[in-house]
Structure 1
Amino acid sequence: MDGAQSPVKGETLAFGHTIKPGSFIGLSLKNGLLNIITLTLYRFWGKTEVRRRVWSHITLNNEPFEYTGKGRELFLGFLIALLALGVPYLALILAIQFVSPMFTLLMLPLYIAIIVLIGAAIFMTYRYMASRTVWRGVRFQLRGSANKFGWSYLGYTLLVMITLGWYAPAMSMRIAEKLWGGMSYGDQKLRWERSHAEGLYGPFALAWVAGIIGYGVLIAAIVPPMIASMQAGTEPGVARFLLIYGYAFIYALFVMVASAAYHAVLMRTIARSIRLGEARFALNVKAGALIGLTLTNLLLTIFTLGFLTPVVVARTTKFMISRLSSTGEAPLADAMQAERGPKTGEGLADAFDVSPF
């Protein structure tokens, strides 16, 4: 036994950050101005710089993360997605207008394909960002098939539609399982230990009922004045449209507040379902804090016309990391290097605007 090597002991995981959202104001203005000058083409490099700065301010056991993605990778991914989506869609529209209206029958398969592609875009985004996230020189990776994930996403979406939304909690858990269950740090695979939606349907029911009631109130506020205007033969003016958008905005805020408890429970449940070695995770997110974050981020985005989006990203990341904790140990020192991952960025995600960062 003298010559036997003792097993490498795991490490407890302590997350931290040095994020100061105010320090992102200058970067926000720079990105905004360059986006205007370049007709938004700079956004790929701007997004990369935001991620690089945010990652560098997140620490695990007092050691920072590193983001190694490049703007040109995002740009090339966008060009590929543009050719794959834009050309077929434009060809179909031209065929409907100039060849035969019968081509309209292809719109349903097109919509189905779009849902599949949105699912694939979500998977490809996580896969790319994992492959460009480095800690202690070791990359993360996401294993799996974007194609299979896309078809699963279609199936889940159809179930949500058929059940009038009631499958949504189960869909969220299954998507999280496919994403986080396929994630690994180097070759150290994360485990997913929950696939059901236990504890989610209570707060979801409250959000669902509130949404239905709020929608009824919205229709009652909008439809009668429109009918009266049509009967009187008067055209709706600018004030009427502003009022409609105002009602819709209030409804969206109402639904956001009503669903905050559900989203907080969902986030906590997903965090509790992830394991790395013997390490368990917890996310201390409450509905009130989530409402405050969402409302202030929304106001920052609206009143600055999106210029302070990097500040919003920094605030959101700070909110999450400051509430993330772990117990147990993970064999981080045993991790072997992962493959580099895809050569281009999440072009589909940019096309559908589904990127989490």
Structure 2
Amino acid sequence: MTDATAPASGETLTFGQTLKSSDFVGLGIKNGLLNLVTFGVYSFWGKTATRRSIWEKVSLNGEAFSYTGKGLELFLGFLLGMAVLLVPYVAVVILTMVNHFFLLLMFPLYFGFIVALGAAVFMAFRYIAGRTRWRGTRFQLIGSPARFGWSYLGYFLLMLVTLGWFSPAMTMRLSGKLWGGLAYGDKKLDWQRSDKEGLYGPFTLAWLVGIGGYVGLIAMMVPSMAAQAGGAPDLALIGRLYAFLLVYIVLVVLASSAYYAAVMRAVIGAIRLDGARFSIKVTAVELIVLSLTNALILIFSLGFLLPVAEARSARFVLSRLSSTGTVDLSGVRQAPAGSGSDEGLADAFGISTF
């Protein structure tokens, strides 16, 4: 895009979408069948086709986004990511066969995997940003995957030491490094957290439900297992355990959904672009309904309708997303092209930022 094509300053931002589940059924069937005959290799091209279809049905101020990623980029990036993960592991295994002393290398290797996982999250986010365009101008993510990876490791260790209580802080700090480093062309977004995020209230409830259920499960199992040692299985006990697990899962989902809804509100609310501020109206019940219906779609379609679930998730967010204030886009300049292999490490880990 040239500077001459940029709109006048002081725009308000209005999101729109024309996403319909029925539009993605055929794409899901096509992707699923091609994945079967190619033993999953087509999944990278299928992911690209799904994103392209979703992006073109999402608009900002009446102008659609576009996705320029390629399946071959994802595939080659995946191969590179697998090499990055497997080569060190195989090397340590071979060295261990020579001398068991080399087992000590497993500890730094595990820490290295956590750093790589963090870097993979950053690089996948950067890839999607660099392959997303609006008004012909691409987005970019400014920052270092290595620094993000080391931050991820540090926060992860703090989360372990605090028995999970650092998790909300970890989520917000890592989100800040991603969204605070995002830019439209050369216009960078800002990250300004609120003093009233309200995360630790719902997190406390989810944490107590999770720990309480785990302790209750152990309390049910240990005495009965000791009494039945060497004897026939107690079918009544097995039935009670399964019933308890079902109730436990339901309670964890209910409690966790309130926390994840709060996280969505806090993250979106911290994003700024000039004078534009963003917000999202989402509740725990709405998240539960979305997650449950998407899960049922995937289960009963044997995974074929994954594009439908992704389109429904995008529609869920966009229909609740709003913006206030204005932003000056008159002087935006094109961002440099990013690497085509960025998302490969994330695919190797089996994670996705979308």
**TM-score using structure 1 length:** 0.90
Shift of 1:222: 4.6
Alignment CA distance shift 1:44-1:280 (3 Å)? same
Q: Distance in 1 between matches of 2:248 and 2:123?
A: 33
Would the aligned equivalents of 1:122 and 1:355 in 2 still touch at CA under 8 Å?
A: yes
Q: Distance in 2 between matches of 1:260 and 1:39?
A: 35
Alignment CA distance shift 1:221-1:23 (3 Å)? farther
CA RMSD of aligned residues (A): 2.4
Residue among 204, 229, 232 paired with 2:230 = 232
Please give the secondary structure, in 2, of the residue aligned with 1:194. Answer: coil
- Residue in 2 that maps onto 1:52: 52
Deviations along 1:106-145, whole A, 9 cap, x unmatched?
A: 1111110111011000000110000000000000000000
- Counterparts of 1:172-211 in structure 2, within 5 Å, are 172-194=171-193, 198-211=197-210
1:351 aligns with 2:348: yes
Alignment CA distance shift 1:351-1:234 (3 Å)? farther
Which piece of structure 1 moves more, 47-56 or 297-306?
Answer: 297-306
- Residue in 1 that maps onto 2:3: none
1:155 aligns with 2:154: yes
Shift of 1:105: 1.3
- Residue in 1 that maps onto 2:36: 36
- Residue in 2 that maps onto 1:216: 215
Shift of 1:61: 0.7
Shift of 1:196: 6.6
Paired-residue identity, %: 54
1:20 aligns with 2:20: yes
Q: Residue type of the partner of 1:132? A: R
- Residue in 1 that maps onto 2:93: 93
Please give the secondary structure, in 2, of the residue aligned with 1:333. Answer: coil
Q: Distance in 2 between matches of 1:313 and 1:307?
A: 12
- Residue in 2 that maps onto 1:290: 287
Which piece of structure 1 moves more, 24-33 or 300-309?
Answer: 300-309
Would the aligned equivalents of 2:126 and 2:342 in 1 still touch at CA under 8 Å?
A: no
**TM-score using structure 2 length:** 0.91
Please give the secondary structure, in 2, of the residue aligned with 1:311. Answer: helix
Q: Distance in 1 between matches of 2:196 and 2:38?
A: 45
Alignment CA distance shift 1:10-1:76 (3 Å)? same
Please give the secondary structure, in 2, of the residue aligned with 1:232. Answer: coil
Would the aligned equivalents of 1:170 and 1:197 in 2 still touch at CA under 8 Å?
A: no
Q: Residue type of the partner of 1:134? A: R
- Residue in 1 that maps onto 2:117: 118
Q: Distance in 1 between matches of 2:194 and 2:351?
A: 23
Show structure 2 runs of 5+ residues with no match: 1-6
Shift of 1:233: 5.5
Q: Distance in 2 between matches of 1:223 and 1:49?
A: 51
Shift of 1:28: 1.1
Q: Distance in 2 between matches of 1:243 and 1:67?
A: 50
